[in-house]
């Protein structure tokens, strides 16, 4: 599990295809790699990946066909920046919201404009995901925990403060570009329960 509070940014170093899957090498700040081991979970721009071949400079990760289909990581190229967050410990502060790193789909940046010192971003996503997005609710975009301001059909707006723009990749996001979207876990599970009608009914 993650919190959506980005610890650092890194860079995609190399990519290699294996029968449809992809192995990517990431360059990561040295301080973030301290104490990391093979098999550790790490969020890369909102995607939970398993750490392979870690050393002081970074690590590798395998991306399955499903991950490549659901996320934007397959479109990233060497030199591109990514947001990084190590899996949370039970003793950590939950500064954002509960994030699984299981991306639901993509959202496209429709517009961004200044709003005082912050910037207002408007995103569009598919309607099957938009139903989980509510005003003042949480959404995770490229691994960043954010608060939704307004929702209009399958579009939603978020005001992003200067600090977040500076320390994450969102500051360089251009109109028309995609971000990885993970909707709120609670909304997703409530919808699933509602599909089966009697939430308080008999259990097996």
99 domain-assigned: no
54 vs 29: CA distance, rounded Å: 12
Range with the lowest mean pLDDT among 129-138, 168-177, 182-191?
Answer: 182-191
Pair of tokens at residue 114: 């200044």
pLDDT at 204 over 60: no
Tokens standing for 75? 């479109």
Task: Give residue 98's pLDDT.
Answer: 87
Task: Tell me the pLDDT tens digit for each residue of 8-58.
Answer: 999 999 999 988 899 999 999 999 999 999 999 999 999 999 999 999 999
Q: Give the pLDDT score at 84.
A: 98
Report how far residue 46's alpha carbon sits from residue 71's, in angstroms, rounded to the nearest whole number. 9
Do 48 and 79 lie in one domain? The reply is yes
Q: Do both 13 and 67 map to the same domain?
A: yes
Start-end of H helices in 15-173: 30-33, 65-70, 127-130, 162-167
**Domain carrying residue 163:** 105-192
109 and 168 housed in the same domain: yes
Alpha helices, DSSP H, located in 36-170: 65-70, 127-130, 162-167
User: Are 115 and 182 part of one and the same domain?
Assistant: yes
Q: Are residues 127 and 167 in the same domain?
A: yes
pLDDT digits (tens, 9 = 90+) for 55-80: 999 999 999 999 999 999 999 999 99
Domain end (from 23, 57, 86): 86
Q: Are residues 67 and 109 in the same domain?
A: no
Q: How many CB atoms lie within 10 A of CB 36?
A: 17
Answer yes or no: is 3 within a domain.
no
State the CATH number of the domain containing residue 159.
2.40.30.20
Total structural domains within the chain: 2
Question: pLDDT tier at 200 (50, 70, 90 boundaries)?
Answer: low
Same domain, 78 and 112: no
In a domain, 59, yes or no: yes
Residues 15 and 55 in one domain: yes
Locate 90 and state its tokens.
């039970």
pTM confidence score: 0.91
Give me the percent of the chain exceeding a pLDDT of 90.
Answer: 80
Task: Report CA-CA distances (Å) from 88 to 48, 99, 115, 170.
Answer: 12, 10, 32, 22
Whether residues 71 and 147 fall in one domain: no
Q: Report if residue 176 sits inside a domain.
A: yes
**Cα–Cα distance between 59 and 51 in angstroms, integer?**
6
Tens-place pLDDT, residues 142-185:
999 999 999 999 999 999 999 999 999 999 999 999 999 999 98
């Amino acid at each position: 599990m993650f919190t959506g509070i980005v610890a650092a940014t890194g860079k995609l170093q190399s990519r290699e295809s294996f029968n449809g899957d992809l192995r990517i090498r990431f360059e990561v700040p040295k301080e973030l790699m301290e104490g990391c081991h093979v098999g550790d979970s790490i969020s890369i721009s909102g995607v939970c990946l398993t750490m392979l071949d870690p050393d002081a400079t970074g690590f590798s990760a395998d991306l399955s066909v499903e991950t490549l289909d659901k996320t934007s990581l397959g479109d990233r190229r060497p030199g591109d920046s990514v947001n990084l967050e190590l899996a949370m410990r039970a003793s950590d502060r939950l500064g954002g919201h509960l994030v699984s790193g299981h991306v639901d789909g993509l959202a496209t940046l429709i517009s961004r404009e200044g709003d005082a010192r912050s910037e207002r971003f408007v995103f569009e996503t598919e309607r099957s995901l938009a139903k989980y997005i509510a005003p003042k609710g949480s959404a995770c975009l490229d691994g960043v925990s954010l608060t939704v301001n307004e929702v209009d059909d399958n579009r939603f707006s978020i005001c992003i403060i200067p600090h977040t723009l500076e320390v994450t990749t969102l500051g360089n996001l251009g109109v028309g570009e995609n971000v990885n979207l993970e909707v709120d876990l609670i909304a997703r599970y409530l919808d699933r329960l509602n599909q089966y009608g009697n939430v308080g009914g008999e259990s097996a």
